[in-house]
Amino acid sequence: MNRLALLPPLLALLAGCVPPGAAPGRDYAKLRGEDPASILVVPVVNRSVDVAASGLFLSTLTVPLADRGYYVFPVYLVKGLMEEDGLGDAGLVHQADPRRLGQLFGADAILYATINRWDAKYAVLSTSVEVDFDYVLKSGRTGEELWKAHQAYTYVPSSQSTGNAVADLIGMAVAASIVKAAPDFMPLARSANHKAFHLQHQGLPAGPHSPQHGLDKGEF
């Protein structure tokens, strides 16, 4: 058999193989073309049943974006100005023309964040805390989508075994009741934001205010 005849199908087979765990790269052409220096974070759409979730989550978005090298407009000042301008409803803000928001604030890009889940599920011996978010970045100049991400985290508290089955069950029940009474969503929200914005080949490339700006093309 002619060994050269085997090369085309073999190469085609290899081309279709992706190593386990390898994440497909994101297309950053539009984002790099716009090269936004400033990001306007608009009020969060909250689809959970916790009315406080939107304000809490909004407070976690500034720092990780600034860490990536972007100027972030003060989120609560922005929220107040929007309310004065008749844009107090987050759903209406998300439906508004991004170009209008860009012109209104002089922002290069607009970040829209949505809370899909912000829940604590209680059982007698176990409570899980769950968060689920969507992020979309749009151009303040053209209104086009530049980048998007989705993150979900679940935390289940664990109690250390004492070697006594009854004591362990009591410990699990107490831990579950404590989490149910005062679930702490903020560490999960911060972890989700960090992964959304920093994950290589999926997050945001370094912005103009970062020393890594333009030097991380192999990572983003």
Per-residue pLDDT, 183? 66
The widest CA-to-CA distance across the chain, in whole angstroms, is: 78
| Phi, psi angle pair for 137, to nearest 5° | -110, 125
Q: What per-residue confidence (pLDDT) applies to 123?
A: 60
- Which band of pLDDT confidence, cut at 50, 70 and 90, is reported for residue 202? very high
pLDDT digits (tens, 9 = 90+) for 36-51: 999 999 999 999 999 9
What average pLDDT score do residues 17-42 get?
78
- The pLDDT of residue 120 is 85
Q: Which pLDDT value is given to residue 59?
A: 96
pTM (2 decimals)? 0.78
168 φ, ψ to 5°? -65, -40
Q: According to the model, what pLDDT value does residue 81 have?
A: 92
The CA-CA-CA angle for residues 79, 31, 37, to 5°, reads 50
Q: How far apart are CA 135 and CA 150, in angstroms?
A: 6
Report the pLDDT value the prediction gives residue 158, as an integer from 0 to 100: 60
- Residues 49 and 56: beta-carbon distance below 8 Å: no
The model's pLDDT over 70-129, given as tens digits with 9 standing for 90+, comes to: 999 999 999 999 999 888 899 999 999 999 999 999 999 999 999 999 998 776 556 788
HSE-up (13 A, CA, CB side) for residue 184: 6
Residue 41 has φ and ψ, to the nearest 5°, of: -95, 115
User: What pLDDT is recorded for position 86?
Assistant: 87
pLDDT computed for residue 188 by the predictor: 93
Smallest Cα–Cα separation from 102: which of 50, 160, 42?
42
Per-residue pLDDT tens for 155-192?
Answer: 886 645 444 443 344 344 444 444 454 468 999 999 99
**pLDDT at position 172, please?**
44
Side-chain-side CA neighbours of residue 19 (13 Å): 2
pLDDT in tens, 115-154: 999 998 776 556 788 999 999 999 999 999 999 999 999 9
Give CATH for domain 25-120+129-154+184-198: 3.40.50.10610
For 88-123, the DSSP string reads --HHHHHHS-HHHHHHHHT-SEEEEEEEEEEEEEE-
Q: Please state, in angstroms and rounded to a whole number, the distance separating the CA atoms of residues 182 and 157.
A: 13
Structural domain spans, the chain: 25-120+129-154+184-198
Higher pLDDT pick, 8 / 110: 110
* pLDDT of 10 above 60: no
